[in-house]
Amino acid sequence: MQIFHRYTELLERLDAKGHSYQILGCAPDGQPLVCVRAGGDKTPAILISAGSHSTEQAGVSAAMELIDTLDTDHQVYIIPCRDPIGLNGFAYALSLSLGEVPQLADKEAAIELLRARGEILHEEEDLLVALIGEHGYFSRVRHGWSIEKAPALEPLRGRRVYCMAGSEKIEGSALLQRAYSLIVDPEGQILHINRFHDTAWAPVEARVTRDLMAQVEPALTLDLHEHGGDGFWFSARHQGTEVDQQWEQRMADAIIGAVEKAGVELMPDDYLPGSFFTKSRNSVYWLDPRKRGEGFNLSDFGAVTYGPAFTIETGMPMGFANRVAASVLAARTAIGVFEQRYL
């Protein structure tokens, strides 16, 4: 189990372990978005992805562990990190505009630098928005925002925004250790990297994933995420055919059974991640992306287009090793049931 502080460390680890990878495309800073082939040659294929939200690093480490250890006859395509810039952190994200990596002692120093070097577009209580070079910078993550709601953000249209993110209490994602990436699309919506999977205009991260999926047609998609709460949960999506739905349900039952048996904390009775989810039991939620809006995320797109898909969410306060272990266990368990389907 390893925490990656730089994306180059992740690539070096793949090399060191003898894993070759395919370069699907490049992030805007030129870093390669890579996919590692694991498993055997049997179809249908499985897709595993992580790291679209850079603060959720246990998913990345879990994907890397799965690359090393997953044993299945099925073809497995693993994209361990969908946001290399975000993984590298806020100072790195600033370097894309400044030409050098600034030394940032703390959040105050980072804000001072935004004021000194940036064009300030918007300011409110705890949120500063600056444009430096080609990129936007937020002093915190803000979801559900758009140029329509905040016309002062017009200069950010079509640009990337990097947010100061993280918490000192979260192992692997202390404040400024990661940069949370947002994208301002041509229509002025401000969305994160796990969106745009079904839209004509899409950032490179979503386009390369969509291209890969079209090639390999994954009959199971697993996207490894994390959330700020204490326990483990995952989302599934109701399937279009009865047989897919039965297997999705079977995988869902197996995942929650295995995780519970391992002693991982689940979510409390009254927890629901959002109004667009329905609950079948604690920690198992069924997501309807059309009710949510913002288009499809990776699992939504996989579920509608190719077959069962799960978004796994480990609780960030659980401790890094526990988070990785829970994520790996959930993925392995789903794959175990998937293998039964295609015996």
Binding site for Zn ion (CB under 5 A): 53, 56, 225
Compare residues 74 and 192 and give the one whose CB is closer to Zn ion. 192
Compare residues 53 and 323 and give the one whose CB is closer to Zn ion. 53
Considering only the C-alpha atoms of the chain, give the largest distance between any 2 of them, rounded to a whole number of Å.
62
HEC readout, 15-52:
HHCCCCEEEEEECCCCCEEEEEEEECCEEEEEEEEECC
Compare residues 314 and 322 and give the one whose CB is closer to Zn ion. 314
Least CB distance to Zn ion at residue 227 (A): 7
Least CB distance to Zn ion at residue 53 (A): 4
How many other β-carbons are positioned within 10 Å of the β-carbon of residue 122? 17
Least CB distance to Zn ion at residue 65 (A): 18
Compare residues 49 and 239 and give the one whose CB is closer to Zn ion. 49
Least CB distance to Zn ion at residue 105 (A): 28
Tokens of residue 3, six digits = 């925490």
Q: How far apart are CA 20 and CA 35, in angstroms?
A: 9
Least CB distance to Zn ion at residue 312 (A): 10
What is the rounded end-to-end Cα distance, in angstroms, of the chain?
Answer: 31
* DSSP secondary structure string for all residues of 85-140: HHHH-HHHHHHHHHSSPPP--SHHHHHHHHHHHSEEEEEETTEEEEEETTEEEESS
Least CB distance to Zn ion at residue 121 (A): 26
Pairing type for strands 127-132 and 74-79 reads unpaired
Compare residues 232 and 247 and give the one whose CB is closer to Zn ion. 232
Compare residues 199 and 327 and give the one whose CB is closer to Zn ion. 327
Q: How far apart are CA 205 and CA 212, in angstroms?
A: 11
Q: How many alpha carbons lie under 13 Å from residue 97 in its C-beta half-sphere?
A: 21
Q: Which residue is nearest to Zn ion (CB)?
A: 225
Compare residues 3 and 98 and give the one whose CB is closer to Zn ion. 3
Q: How far apart are CA 328 and CA 224, in angstroms?
A: 9
Least CB distance to Zn ion at residue 248 (A): 20
CB 176 within 8 A of CB 91: yes
